[in-house]
Amino acid sequence: MHSLPVFALALALTRHRRQTIPTNLPGNWTSEGCFTDDVGARTLSGATFANGTGMTIEQCLNFCDANNFVLAGVEFGDECYCDNFIENNATTTAATDCNVPCAGNAKEVCGAANRLNVFNSGKTPPPPPDTVPSVGNWTSLGCYSDGVNGQRTLTIGVNLVNPATVEECTATCFAAGYQYAGTEFADQCFCDTAITNGGVPTPITDCNMVCAGNSSEFCGGPNRLDMYNYTGDNLPPISAPGGGGGGDAPVFPVTSGLPGSWKYVSCYVDNAFGRIFEFEQPDNANTTVEECISVCSGQNFTVAGIEFSVVCGDRLVNGAVVADDSTCNMGCAGNATEACGGPNRLSVYSSSANVTALPVPTVQTTNLTGNWTYAGCYTDNAAGTRTLPWELQLTLNNSAETCTSQCAAFGYSAAGMEFGIQCFCGDISDIAANGATLAPESDCNTQCSGDPIHLCGSGNRLQMYTWNGALNVWHTPENIGVVVPLIATLGVNNKVTFLEKHGTSEFDNSTGAYELDLSLVSNFSAAWRTMNVQTDVFCSGSVILPDIGARQINVGGWSLDSTFGIRLYTPNGVPGINSTNDWEENGDELHLLAGRWYPSALVLSNGSILVMGGETGSNASPQPSLELLPLPEGSGVVPLDFLERTDPWNLYPFLTMLPSGRIFVGYYNEARILDPITFDTVQTLPNIPGAVNNFLAGRTYPLEGSMIPFPQYAPYTDPLRVLICGGSTPGPAQVIDNCVSIEPETENATWTLERMPSRRVMSCMVPLPDGTMMIMNGAMEGVAGFGLASDPNFNAVLYDPIQPVGQRFSILNNTIVARLYHSEATLLPDGRILVSGSDPQTPGFPEEMRIEVYVPPYLNQGIRQPEYNISETDFGYGQTFQITNVQVFHGSIANIKASLIAATSSTHGNAMGARTIFPEFSCSGTTCTITTPPNAFVSPPGWWQLFILDDAGTPSHSSWLRIGGDPGQLGNWPNLPGFTPPGL
């Protein structure tokens, strides 16, 4: 198969992106780009703070500068991190991954989830952190494991007076008479007389967290100790470590004078089987029991514990064991007479009469939902690659049930929990493909954040569950179609008109408009006709009018006068004979009330034209409103608060008429039904499901999926269902691999989610004569816009709505050309699909001049297409008409059916005007009778392609007919200079 260079046809646009990096940063600070981050292994691990309402880039830079750090990073809109070095093998990623606006300045970008905008002060960084080889007689033993089976390798924890350093920790352990000292997790210090409880050496790179008190030193890592051995012979006798009351003074629990209902519960063993509290608070060098209770009570916790730091919760976990009160013998740092726990001991207080103590967590292997089964403890992050690709952070509600249910709902057959708070989804095939292997069950030892009696993996360990059976059935039929190299809005003259950028085109000789005669493709100069527009149609919207001339109307544009543009073209001529009409436009006489870039258009049931949404110009302010054409007397722009609220993720909103006469609108991740007269919201529908790990994923530009309605069948008693496929996320761009559908007017309407065979953003969908939908074009990484997507999706997929849910997709042959930004797909009169465009401005992908024709499976069966004759082509509602000389070449005429495909304009994955109807149909001999739909709600007035199909689904060539007339009398509009209305 080959593709033939024909002509440069592409609609271009700049992706809306209002958040930017300021050009004038404080001092010598400069941007280093967007970096990956991980909650378990921070890219910048020094000082940090959060500001949920006021975070700006400048605020973060000043904070890190004041704390003498070289690097600063902002994340997720309101978090600031500092360091002198990039830690934990973090790497740069696409700039578009960082796209969450700063909480304190929505025009600045402050990273995203697990993404940091990193900045450099220009100062010379200190020497990189290193493992301190020795401190006096203390000698490094390297990095050791900790927390094996929930047990401490060094069992005596100490509360340091100053921020943690190796020197501070070893000095404290020496003063208490202990031979071994270890630093962990940047700010913890432990002592003991021996290395115990299964602690063993691990790679030195495991100890990779810098000390809280000295960024040039390493102080262990998660469950890792930088271990030191005292080699001298002058250790003092063992005594209570420093930082608490210690010494020989008696200490006591506080049993009176506590606030409210708080009371002393008991002394508990900490870490007998794991930490018994779930929420640790920042260290306080002056801690008292009263201060501990105040901290926990202030966060609405009912249980408080104190050891070397304050811990809070509403229960005790990990098999908490009561200890003798005498073993909680360490004085509080802020009051040496109060007992503040002891080595591996916690003084516990509660405001409740009873304290719940949960057992040691185990693997959940029973009472699993659906067909899930436990698969074992698996390694993760082998060679830096996640075993399962979709990550959810469930800090409060992670469990086997929550994680597996979420994965199954989005069509994934493998689910894994990690580090207590993370849930990962993917396919069973991902496990082996990404290098995961079974690990000892004891490696998975962290309780679930939402189910503390069960285990949810550990660091780089997955508690893995797999689905027994098939969640998705993706068909791969033998007859999967071919691509014919050939040459995208189809006119009633069966010629294809193209609109291109005018004035901003990459080609100096572009006139902005062309028409292609498909019957003359063997003769290049005869096939293409140059047309003209006056203003730039860059990112405008088009529909076909129901007037007698089947005019194409184009509204909006790129900037300035273009955004107000109204352009009209009346197709004329027939295949093989040159057309003569051109686009008509006169902005002085006729224009939109509001400038619009990225608007959508829809023909309403009353025959008028709805224009909705967009922006005031290229990357400008939102235009959250609608207006009507022709403009009714006394009317104007109708503001739409839901578009203003969801800007900038709602451009090219999805529109369709519902059988009630109301209007469905889908935008970003929301949908609603509007009254067709007042345009008030009649019903707000449930939010549109997004990605498995991000409910904020969206479906309209620039996150760009596509939408078309399901077919409607006579007698039209079933509610209309709409289908939306693909999209992406506004954070780090994760392209969506699912379709969702809903019957908007069904009581308690809910979305049905079906997983697609692959991820797809900037998809195109085409309704086909047999009632199926072709999904093609787009990318598997990124979002819509110049240079913002990669990894083209060449695969064509067929969606069959009559199949059971979960079995509707068929994987077909690939197309030839990468179709990224600005691609189109258009149904041709012979049932083939014209595939065109791609203007990505992405390195390696050109301004695409080639056009393809895709042959769907129904034309690849070796069956001659049915034939028929039709004489009348203009009908009202509920009217019968006949087609004659009907011939089929497979099966009998008694088994044929007819379909009506509405005239459609394709741009940016939005098939404006798309609709499919299977009307009442019967045959007698070679004459068949068709009854048009009953009203303008089921079938808005307009032009349709009529196909007949044999019993194998082979379609005929189409004929154009009009149903419903011209109720808005558009044929007489506009009666203004520069326009030629076709009449009624």
Round to whole Å and give the CA distance between 57 and 68. Answer: 17
What is the model's pLDDT at position 783? 84
Alpha helices in 87-233 (DSSP H): 166-175
Q: Residues of the chain with pLDDT > 70: what percent? A: 94
What is the arithmetic mean of pLDDT over 361-370? 94
- The mean pLDDT value of the chain amounts to 89
pLDDT over 60 at 702, yes or no: yes
What is the arithmetic mean of pLDDT over 844-850? 80
The top-scoring range by mean pLDDT among 425-434, 529-538, 611-620 is 425-434
What is the model's pLDDT at position 750? 97
Closest CA to 620 of 211, 131, 13, 104: 13
**Dihedral (C-alpha) 937, 943, 948, 952: value to the nearest 10 degrees?**
-80
Round to whole Å and give the CA distance between 480 and 856. Answer: 7
pLDDT over 60 at 3, yes or no: no
What is the model's pLDDT at position 431? 96
CB atoms within 10 A of CB 478: 5
Over residues 429-473, the pLDDT tens digits come to: 999 999 999 999 999 988 899 999 999 999 889 999 999 998 888
Closest CA to 427 of 737, 810, 698: 737
Going by pLDDT thresholds of 50, 70 and 90, the confidence category of residue 482 is: very low
pLDDT over 60 at 918, yes or no: yes
Over residues 945-972, the pLDDT tens digits come to: 999 999 999 999 999 999 999 999 999 9
What is the model's pLDDT at position 617? 86
User: Residue 446: CB partners within 8 Å, gap ≥ 6?
Assistant: 274, 419, 420, 455, 456, 457, 458, 459
What is the model's pLDDT at position 113? 79
Task: Report residue 442: phi and psi, to 5°.
Answer: -70, -15
Over residues 538-596, the pLDDT tens digits come to: 889 999 999 999 999 999 998 899 999 999 999 999 999 989 999 999 999 999 999 99
Tell me if the bond preceding 933 is cis, omega within 30° of 0.
Answer: no
Strand partners, 960: 945
Round to whole Å and give the CA distance between 654 and 643. Answer: 12
Over residues 779-822, the pLDDT tens digits come to: 999 888 777 888 899 999 999 999 999 999 999 999 888 888 78
pLDDT over 90 at 500, yes or no: no
pLDDT over 60 at 422, yes or no: yes
